[in-house]
Structure 1
Amino acid sequence: MSAQLPPCPASLKAIQHYLKTAAEHDGRDQVVSYWCRLYALQTGLKIDRKSDDSKSFLVGLMDWLETQKKAQADNEAITHELAAQAHIENYALKLFLYADSQDRAANFGKNVVKAFYTAGMLFDVLTTFGELSEEVVQNRKYAKWKAAYIHNCLKNGETPLPGPLTEEGEPHDGLLNEEGNPTPGGSAFQEDYGEAAGNTEFGFVQPQKPAAGFEAPSPPASNTYVPPTTPSYPGGFIPYHPSPSAAVTPNDGINLQPSFENYNPTGGVSGGSSSEGGVKLDAAQVTKAQKYCKWAGSALNYDDISTAITNLQKALRLLQTGQDD
């Protein structure tokens, strides 16, 4: 469902690109559009929740989220954070792997910039579910830096260098600000890219129905990304374990934050349980098995049968033996 919202006020300019990403996915992936707007809401509340324009916009955004949540009540990736995390994580990884493979093959273009930049924003959205792992933080910074770097090279008529540029250190070259967002030439990148983001010439669809010239690869079966060549930056992509994120509650008497059901990933298991083979499983092991099952379900959303089978096998092995690969 497309969101009919008032214009985003100038004070909330920082969330505009998350809103644009959400709008691009309204007809393609409602899970992505929903969580991008929720992230935009949470960020907007931290920036400006007192001005009239901001209040009006954020209330409208909150209303859309509540309506969408009710309409998608049977969609686990919207109602349950663990399923949502797996969905967003897999989607961001597909974009990241596509962009990285194209970049390393010296196939530069707006599609690659778009994929890197969107992956970076979706890694931001993952903070909704808890603190990011170091691997995800590095992938996020690399994706944003690469988007800015390739964009600048193409804009200046230069040929980008494929892959990481240095073996050690952080490859920023002044292209990222302290928050890790692209800022070449002030806001030039974001303004240029904001215009480009709405261009269907290189808009994205879900990976199982790729647009011409875009074919995102399936995530590796091990859920771990290892770059094919040295140097090794960006680091491996390892799914992280989210910690509960604190809800943002306004102090001005207006409830701008939608309510969300508390999801207990352990399914009420606190003292451990026993498998059929008599193996004693603690709560952490049960939670990990549940995550493998969630990742399997998410992989099936992308018709990625091999990854689904691998994750189900890992869940079964963990439940039967208590051992995790």
Structure 2
Amino acid sequence: MALTIPECPPSLKSIQHYLKTAAEHDNRDLVVAYWCRLHALQVGLKITPKKSAEETKVLMALMDWLEEIKKANQDNDAITNDVAAQAHLENYALKLFLYADKQDREQNFGTNVVKAFYTAGMIYDVLTTFGELTDEAMQNRKYAKWKAAYIHNCLKNGETPIPGPMPTDDDETSENPSNSEPTASASDQNQYIPPEVNPPADNPPPIVPTNFNSSLPDPNAVNKLPPVPYTPDPNPGGFVPYDPSAQPQEPTPSYGDLNSTQAQLTPEQITKAQKYCKWASSALNYDDIKTAISNLQNALQLLQTGRDPA
């Protein structure tokens, strides 16, 4: 569905960043485009209690588009289900962030890196739709927005950016930007860091031009991006490693004996169990093991007991 919305009035200027990010993903990733516009709508609805005619036209156009896209993509869990959507956006934002950070540390400065950092910061904003960000995501968002503004200003002023986190007064640097604060000495702060590094409570986007000539890197291009780091749970699901010296024990299933009589299920319950399995599969696509296990356990409990744990 083509989206045609009127020009945003000055009062809705803060949502233009999300709308532009959405437009850039209409043909690249519809899930990203959908949730960027939904976030823009939510932010726009909170700006003023009484909407002007111009504001109402913009917001109504967004509502109509979101409704049509959701109807047309009922089989896309990343649009219809919050858990799958959150996993999709977290994975996308992290891949963009890791791509930009790798290029930055290798001193491959350019508008592609600026835009990757900038877009990652925007998508971390969108993730607040699902609740508070994790500490890691908050640090990544802050660092990405700061780096986008910093590198852009350096290139604009003909200066060479400093790769990685800005050195502190003790000349200490961190090897992991997601666990570091983008701090600098007083003189460096005045010269490089824009005021958007420490935004006010409403967290408006940093003032970074978005009319880049280069295209946004594809975070799904395996040959361009590093894989998302994943540390497996050493004991997933509470399973005990096999020990040949230990005495054999009878297994204790979490939800009763798998060989016991199954519950009599209604068609609605069977459909819900299928959805749990779908959500688990979707979570595995983004290495979200915890969510996959949780959904599989929910499906198992529903199939065995007839009780929906949700």
Residues in 2 aligned to 1:204 and 1:163: alpha-carbon distance in whole angstroms: 19
| Structure 1 unmatched ranges of 5 or more | 184-188, 225-275, 282-288, 300-306, 320-325
Q: Residue in 2 aligned with 1:11? A: 11
Go from structure 1 to structure 2 and tell me whether the alpha carbon gap of 1:66 and 1:209 turns closer, same or farther (over 3 Å shift).
farther
CA gap 1:292/1:97 in 2 versus in 1, 3 angstroms: farther
Mapped pair 1:162 → 2:125: no
Counterpart of 1:171 (choices 183, 194, 202) is 183
Kindly indicate whether the alpha-carbon contact (under 8 Å) linking 1:69 and 1:79 is maintained by their aligned counterparts in 2: yes
Aligned to 1:302: none
Distance 1:3 1:291 in 2: 29
Match of 1:153 in 2: 154
Q: Is the 8 A contact 2:95 2:219 kept in 1?
A: no
8 Å Cα contact 2:5-2:61 kept in structure 1: yes
Radius of gyration: which is bigger?
A: 2
> Scaled by the length of structure 2, what TM-score is found?
0.68
AA at the equivalent of 2:9: P
Report the Cα distance in structure 1 between the residues aligned to 2:98 and 2:66, rounded to whole angstroms: 30
Measured after TM superposition, the shift of residue 223 of structure 1 is: 7.9
The CA deviation string for residues 17-38 of structure 1, in whole angstroms up to 9 with x for no partner, is: 1100000000110000000000
The answer for the alignment partner of 1:37 in structure 2 is: 37
Counting only pairs closer than 5 Å after superposition, residues 179-258 of structure 1 correspond to structure 2 as 179=200, 183=206, 189-190=207-208, 193-196=209-212, 199=213, 201-205=214-218, 207-208=220-221, 215-222=224-231
Contact map agreement 1:2 1:26 (CA 8 A) in 2 = no
Would you say the 8 A contact 1:105–1:162 is kept in 2? Answer: yes
Aligned residues: 236
Secondary structure of the residue aligned to 2:211 is helix
- Which whole-Å CA distance do the structure 2 matches of 1:133 and 1:223 have between them? 18
Distance 1:40 1:5 in 2: 13
In 2, Cα distance between equivalents of 1:11 and 1:117:
22
* Structure 2: distance between partners of 1:122 and 1:64: 19
Partner residue of 1:90? 91
Residue 252 (structure 2) aligned to one of 266, 274, 278: 278
Could you list the structure 1 runs, at least 4 aligned residues long, displaced by more than 6 angstroms after superposition: 289-292
Letter in 2 for 1:202: S
Deviation at 1:153, TM superposition (A): 0.4
**Once the two structures are superposed, what CA deviation does each residue of 1:9-52 show, in whole Å capped at 9, x if it has no partner?**
22100010110000000011000000000000000111135111
**Aligned AA for 2:283?**
W
Instruction: Give distance in 1, aligned partners of 2:151 and 2:57.
Output: 37
Match of 2:103 in 1: 102
Task: Report the TM-score, using the length of structure 1 for normalisation.
Answer: 0.65
Measured in 2, the distance between the counterparts of 1:58 and 1:25 equals 19
Does the Cα contact within 8 Å between 1:82 and 1:294 map onto a contact in 2? Answer: no
State, as a whole percentage, how many aligned pairs show the same letter: 56
Alpha-carbon contact 2:5-2:57 (below 8 Å) kept: no
Structure 2 counterpart of 1:41, which letter? L
d(CA) in 2 for partners of 1:143, 1:11: 26
- Tell me if structure 2 keeps the 8 A contact 1:119–1:140: yes
Q: What is the match of residue 295 of structure 1? A: 283
Q: Which amino acid aligns with 1:44?
A: G
1:143 is aligned to 144
Distance 2:221 2:181 in 1: 36
Alpha-carbon distance in structure 1 between the residues aligned to 2:83 and 2:19: 22
Equivalent residues of 2:96, 2:219 under 8 A apart: no
Distance in 2 (CA, whole Å) between partners of 1:182 and 1:120 is 8
Cα-to-partner distance string for 1:267-320 (whole Å, 9 max, x where unaligned):
xxxxxxxxx942447xxxxxxx998654313x3xxxxxxx58xx49x849x96x
Separation in 1 of the partners of 2:55 and 2:145? 27
Whether 1:23 aligns to 2:44 is no
2:74–2:80 Cα contact (<8 Å) kept: yes
Report the Cα distance in structure 2 between the residues aligned to 1:278 and 1:66, rounded to whole angstroms: 46
Instruction: Answer yes or no: is the 8 Å Cα contact 1:145–1:171 preserved in 2.
Output: no
Distance 1:120 1:84 in 2: 17
Answering whether residue 89 of structure 2 is matched by residue 73 of structure 1, we say no
Contact residue 99 and residue 116 of structure 2 kept, 8 A: yes
Q: 8 Å contact 1:25–1:33 — kept in the other structure?
A: yes
Tell me, in whole angstroms, the C-alpha distance in 2 between the residues paired with 1:130 and 1:16.
Answer: 22
Pairwise CA distance, 1:219 = 1.0
**Distance (Å, rounded) in 2 between the aligned partners of 1:65 and 1:209:** 30
CA distance in 1, matches of 2:219, 2:164: 25
**CA–CA distance in 2 between the matches of 1:278 and 1:60?**
55
Q: Structure 1 residues 88 and 79, CA, compared in 2 at 3 Å: closer, same or farther?
A: same
